[in-house]
Amino acid sequence: MQINDNSQAISSVDSQLLASYNAWNMTQAEARLVQLEDSHAISAAQGEAVQTMLNQRVSLKNALNPFVETLKSHLSENDTSYLKAHVYPTLVNSMMVGQMSQYDLSQANFYYGKVTFNNQFCKFILIVNYANQSVYFEVTLIAANNQWWIYDVKEIQ
């Protein structure tokens, strides 16, 4: 599985651009790229390559909310097949999916909070309300193969 991390390629261009790229601040990254191109600090070929990387990140960022909403929808219908198909392939993740398949999630409500980005990862808090109980999870997603994958889920005590 190819992880979408172009940090090394961008770090060779400019550290300010890299910081914006890693924070997923695409507006700031694109503005910095324009500055570098206008000052001829980078070649046209470098500019095009970086713009392609930025476009990939914009596309991934735009796909995040629909991904999470689709995941929530499938889980609320007690369908874990979407979850299984979008879990980063590790032993721990496989076990987690197996455990979730044992529960009837159709009566649960799912909510998630603010998303934070760092390099190829993003994190958010997922709240699962079931009857009068709420369970909190820290969910980490990874950008790989130009799509989002569930990388890690940890219950918050």
95-116 pLDDT tens trace: 887 777 777 888 889 999 999 9
Instruction: Tell me the pLDDT of the chain averaged across its residues.
Output: 89
pLDDT in tens, 36-47: 999 999 999 999
Q: Percentage of the chain with pLDDT > 90? A: 59
pLDDT-derived band of residue 129, with 50, 70 and 90 as boundaries?
A: very high
pLDDT in tens, 49-100: 999 999 999 999 999 999 999 999 988 888 888 888 899 888 888 788 777 7
What CA–CA distance (Å, rounded) separates 156 from 138?
A: 7
pLDDT for 102 = 78
pLDDT-derived band of residue 4, with 50, 70 and 90 as boundaries?
A: low
- Please say whether the structural domain 65-156 has been given the CATH code 3.10.450.50: yes
pLDDT average, residue stretch 133-142: 92
User: Which tokens go with 69?
Assistant: 């909403």
pLDDT for 94 = 79
- For the chain, residues classed under CATH 3.10.450.50 are 65-156
**Is the pLDDT at 11 greater than 90, yes or no?**
no
What's the pTM value of the predicted model, to 2 decimals? 0.87
